[in-house]
Chains A and B, each alone.
Chain A
Amino acid sequence: MDIHTHTLPAPTTLDTAPPRARDRRLTRLRRSVLAHRIVFFTVLLCAWELVSRVGPWPDYLMPGPLAVGRALVAGLRNGLFVHGASVSLVRLLIGYGLSLVGGVVLGTLLVRYTALRNTVGTLIVGLQALPSVCWLPLAILWFGLNERAIIFVVVMGSLFSVVLGVRDGIANTPPIFVKAARNLGATGVRLYTEVVLPAAFPTILAGLKQGWAFAWRSLMAAELLYFSLSLGNLLQTGRDLNDAAQVMAVMTLIILVGVTFNQLLFAPLERRVAERWGFGTTRA
């Protein structure tokens, strides 16, 4: 009978590939993802152009990507789109900014005071079931047809997501982190800023991101019903002019703005959280 001798493996369990090799592997992976995307979108655009040209629909209802691209360039050139987008963005930033400040304060208060949590907390969960554009008629009655009404709708759309994200994030901070930190000498404000908030950050970030998405949607919905120049209003003008190319061009612009903000604002934060906590990375 053979007797085998074994040597024990080294007691490390980290990914042992040297960093350079790992980077190369990742680069290769990213390149293949990029290649897939390019092929997919090229095929999609060609199919769209083809459908637009040979399909039974008139050009003004089903323009192809080339016509939409031309409308987009024209709109950007004559300044109409730029102006409209900047009006919308200012509203978005003001509305979301207010939600951010209000949401963090309110969320923190909800964690701190049980009585508030049982009353205001329930109200907030209820109000979140109301699509924010439903606030518009009331907002117009209260504030008139002006900026304040539209910003009110944006705040109503995004505030509650931020509140709930902050509340859940802080409330679900594992007590063991707080215990360990107190034991090591952390107290008061520093316990809060260096332990509770970082521990809650992944959940808070999800709330902030959802709040941002809701703010953007609420703004577009409200602007559709408005008369001053803005992105939502440009969609409506496109319809009035029977100009589907303009409608699609503005839709494209709305998507581009949304994606850009996501990439600049949230994607880096999410990557950081994922890298530190070891969450599976999801990229869109």
Chain B
Amino acid sequence: MSTGRALHLRGVQKTYVSGDRTVDALAPTDLDVEPGEFVCLLGASGCGKSTLLQLVAGLEPATSGTITVDDTPVEGPSSDRVLLFQDAALFPWLTVEDNVAFGLKHSTRPVDDQRQVARDWIARVHLRGFEGAYVHQLSGGMRQRVALARALATDPSMLLMDEPFGALDALTRDRLHEELESLWAATRKTVLFVTHNVREAVALGDRVLVFSPRPGRIVADVRVTLPRPRALEDVAVMQQAADLMKVLRRALDATTDDSRIEA
């Protein structure tokens, strides 16, 4: 199993052009992430967090700057860096097992092995018995579990999570936090986790990067050293979240943007 790799961004910038309008989605950004680090990207909507994830995933090219994973430059999508979407983006025409095996099918792994790996991951996200189910038969939380299994099955070194639990109810979200944390502890993948929820960021991250909008940029880089496992309702987590909220407010006060921040 491949463990996390280091990520380096140098002067990475993204500008979208539509007609004669240009939007600076991400100002030139430098960032170093250590192998196996869990980094949360926190900020209001439209401050470049998702853009940064798309760039690292290689799904869109950066306007300028370089992204390297260990020493390899990112030049396109790769199943070594898998993006998880808020809408789980599972394929409705495939069963749970075929969804999880999708990335494997497009790899060089032997076919017999693929089934086994897919089933193992389905079991690890607690969905044994649902191998033959279709996506519409699953709840939101189950869908995200399948998406997680589908991503991890290809054994990436990096997980890029774009508000994956944003649409879930609080109880389900709690459970998935725990499961994600323990999977991460077991696999030591590098994780970039986008959220607009301050407590979620503190509960999950080794580091929290605070973003500010227009143009999107990193305005604070906060280390979280609280012992793990952490829960959203831990006093220490809430305390640190409150401190972080102040940083975030200051970042937002610089702009007039309506925030979508959850305390």
Contacts and interface: CB of A to CB of B under 8 A. Distances in A.
Contacts, number: 80
A11 B107 CA distance: 33
B82 A184 contact: yes
A278 B137 contact: yes
B83 interface: yes
Contact of B91 (A8, A177, A185, A278): A177
A195 B102 CA distance: 10
Given A185-B103, A185-B107, A198 B136 contact: no
A183 interface: yes
Interface residues of B, number: 35
A142 interface: no
Interface residues on A, range: 20 to 34
B79 interface: yes
B139 to A, nearest CB: 4
A182 interface: yes
Contacts of B81: 183
A142 to B, nearest CB: 42
B79 A184 contact: yes
A281 interface: no
B91 A195 contact: yes
A199 B79 CA distance: 21
Contacts of B78: 183, 185
Contacts of A180: 83, 85, 89, 91
Contacts of A176: 85, 87, 89
28 contacts: A8-B171, A13-B138, A176-B87, A179-B59, A179-B89, A180-B91, A181-B102, A182-B59, A182-B77, A183-B77, A183-B79, A183-B81, A183-B82, A183-B83, A184-B79, A184-B103, A184-B154, A185-B78, A185-B103, A194-B105, A195-B91, A201-B93, A276-B136, A277-B93, A277-B134, A278-B134, A278-B135, A278-B137
